[in-house]
Amino acid sequence: MRNTRDLAVLWVMLMVAAGCRDAVAPPDEPELITIAATVSETGIRTQSAGEMVRGYRLGVEMLNEMGGIGGKEVRLVTRDDGSDPATAARLYDEFMASDSIDALLGPFGTPITEAVVAVTEAAGWPLIAPMASAPGVWSDRGRRWSGPRGAGSGRARRRGRSFHRRRLL
């Protein structure tokens, strides 16, 4: 089942991030890592997006049961994009402007992800978007910070450096 495979890959990426964390956080760092994503709670993608967010929540729950990332609790923040690409893009702009958001997971579906990738790429924010599968989103686009599964070791290293700069790794 494709969705299960994608969520499993996402889980592996989160676990890799967990393994790369510093063992001890500086005292002024919050003891919480916040990951944000939009979900189509309303609109035409509601049912499928609901399955995606249940997978995201399960992954966060499992991470926290294993001690979080670098000993820090992980929290998932979601907002309703209404199954609308423009709304999703605006919400990801808000996530990136917030000091409380540390990482981004992708929305459900190719059309919404296409709009979101445009804003996250422009801002240089990594985006793990396992729920957009149309080849046009990823192939021959020169994506530096986004991917369906973080494919490509060079891309993964760049993401890791970005996370490290934000004290996530």
- Over residues 95-110, the pLDDT tens digits come to 999 999 999 999 988 8
User: Region 22-48: what's the mean pLDDT?
Assistant: 76
CATH, residue 56: 3.40.50.2300
CA atoms within 13 A on the CB side of 110: 7
pTM, 2 dp: 0.70
In a domain, residue 60? The reply is yes
Characterize 33-44 residue by residue with b for buried, 16 or more Cβ atoms within 10 angstroms of its Cβ, and e for exposed.
bbbbbbbbbeee
Cα distance between residue 100 and residue 10, in whole Å: 21
Q: Give the model's confidence band at 145: pLDDT under 50 very low, under 70 low, under 90 confident, else very high.
A: low
Residue 39, pLDDT > 60, answer yes
In a domain, residue 61? The reply is yes
In a domain, residue 130? The reply is no
The H or E element containing residue 74 is strand 73-80
User: Cβ distance 150 to 15 under 8 Å?
Assistant: no
In a domain, residue 155? The reply is yes
Cα distance between residue 36 and residue 92, in whole Å: 8
Inter-CA distances, 158 with 82, 121, 126, Å:
32, 13, 9
In a domain, residue 150? The reply is yes
In a domain, residue 159? The reply is yes
- Note down the domain range covering 48: 2-124+140-165
Cα distance between residue 101 and residue 3, in whole Å: 25
In a domain, residue 152? The reply is yes
The token pair at 53 is 């967010």
Query: Would you state the pLDDT for residue 148?
Result: 56
Q: How many domains does the chain have?
A: 1
Taken in order 158, 164, 168, 169, the sign of the CA dihedral is: positive
Close Cβ partners of 69 (under 8 Å, ≥ 6 residues apart): 14, 17, 18, 21, 33, 63, 168
User: Cβ distance 149 to 130 under 8 Å?
Assistant: yes
In a domain, residue 59? The reply is yes
Residue 140, pLDDT > 80, answer no
